[in-house]
């Protein structure tokens, strides 16, 4: 049996193993399909990273709505009910339920091990930092962090910061790779930074770069922005030469 066939067999066995261990949560797509069948309204292109570690409340799934281009990192919990009324019932015997909707808009990232409590709505263009607890509505685009989660920086300001750091961050990656392996890094490791050096031709994009272009369900928009922009460097070699000069200068 060829190595290719062995690889495909191993991949299939691993998929079956995950199906057996995690049921509907064995993949992002199967988990979303399961919840939508139960009454949730989750866009099919929502990305759930490591769904076996994520809890999307299925106590009342019809109260959960998630829009387009939402990414949910590992360890996230989204709750549509709260059982803290057990404490009050223990004192006076009265049942006071707490079941309420959660609505998440478009273009939202929920960081690792964050929790979204019931009766919360999150607007479009929001980033929830890792480990945050969202206890109330988020109505302003931006980056939120903490317990309870608070606005750290407005969306437009954060976007400008990210854009200003692209070349510096990519060069840091190049330096770390070079110092570890003592060789020129393959351009594929810059799959989140390739806009800074790739010629504006979509036909010749490596698969790793094309995969990023197709994320979020807006490939046509990405192509338009890509073709209408200019790279910071005249190709990958020019970018690497610039990085190598900085690395050598830094090490002198």
Render pLDDT for 42-83 as a digit per residue (tens, 0 to 9).
998 899 999 999 999 988 899 999 999 999 999 999 999 988
SS3 76: coil
pLDDT score, position 185: 97
Q: Are 134 and 128 spatial neighbours (Cβ–Cβ below 8 Å)?
A: yes
What's the confidence (pLDDT) of residue 203? 85
- Sorting pLDDT into bands at 50, 70 and 90, what band is 5? low
**135-47-161-156 Cα dihedral, nearest 10 degrees:** -60
Q: Band the pLDDT of 16: cuts 50, 70, 90.
A: low
In three-state secondary structure terms, 144 is: strand
Task: Tell me which residue of 197, 193, 175 sits closest to 184, measured CA to CA.
Answer: 175
pLDDT at 4 over 60: no
What does the mean pLDDT of the chain come to?
91
What are 194-245's pLDDT values in tens digits? Answer: 999 999 988 889 999 999 999 888 899 999 999 999 999 999 999 999 999 9
More confident residue, 124 or 8: 124
Higher local confidence (pLDDT), 12 or 145: 145
| Buried-state track 44-80, b at ≥16 Cβ within 10 A, e below 16 | eebbbeebebbebbeebbebbebbbbbbbbebbbbbb
pLDDT, residue 137, reads: 98
- Copy the structure tokens of residue 106: 């478009």
The H helix count followed by the E strand count for the chain is: 8, 14
Instruction: Provide the whole-model pTM.
Output: 0.86
- Other beta carbons less than 10 A from residue 31's beta carbon: 22
């Amino acid at each position: 049996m060829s190595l290719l066939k062995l690889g495909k067999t191993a991949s299939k066995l691993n998929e079956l193993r995950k199906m057996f261990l995690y049921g509907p949560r064995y993949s992002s797509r199967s988990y979303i399909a399961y919840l939508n069948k139960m009454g949730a309204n989750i866009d099919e292109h929502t990305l759930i990273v490591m769904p076996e570690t994520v809890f999307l409340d299925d106590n009342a799934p019809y109260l959960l709505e998630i829009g387009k281009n939402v990414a949910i990192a590992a360890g996230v919990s989204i709750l549509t009910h709260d059982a803290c009324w057990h404490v009050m019932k223990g004192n006076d015997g009265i049942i006071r339920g707490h079941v309420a909707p959660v609505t998440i808009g478009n273009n939202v990232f929920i960081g690792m091990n964050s929790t979204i409590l019931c009766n919360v709505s999150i607007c479009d263009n929001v980033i929830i930092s890792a480990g945050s607890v969202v206890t109330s509505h988020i109505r302003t685009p931006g980056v939120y962090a903490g317990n309870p989660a608070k606005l750290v920086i407005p969306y437009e300001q954060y976007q400008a910061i990210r854009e200003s750091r692209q070349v510096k961050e990519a060069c840091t990656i190049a330096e770390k790779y070079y110092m570890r392996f003592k060789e020129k890094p393959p351009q594929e490791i810059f799959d989140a930074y390739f806009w800074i050096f790739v010629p504006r031709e979509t036909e010749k994009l490596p698969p790793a770069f094309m995969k990023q272009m197709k994320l979020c369900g807006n490939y046509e928009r990405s192509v338009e922005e890509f073709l209408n922009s200019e790279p910071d460097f005249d190709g990958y070699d020019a970018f690497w030469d610039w990085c190598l000069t900085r690395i050598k200068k830094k090490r002198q």
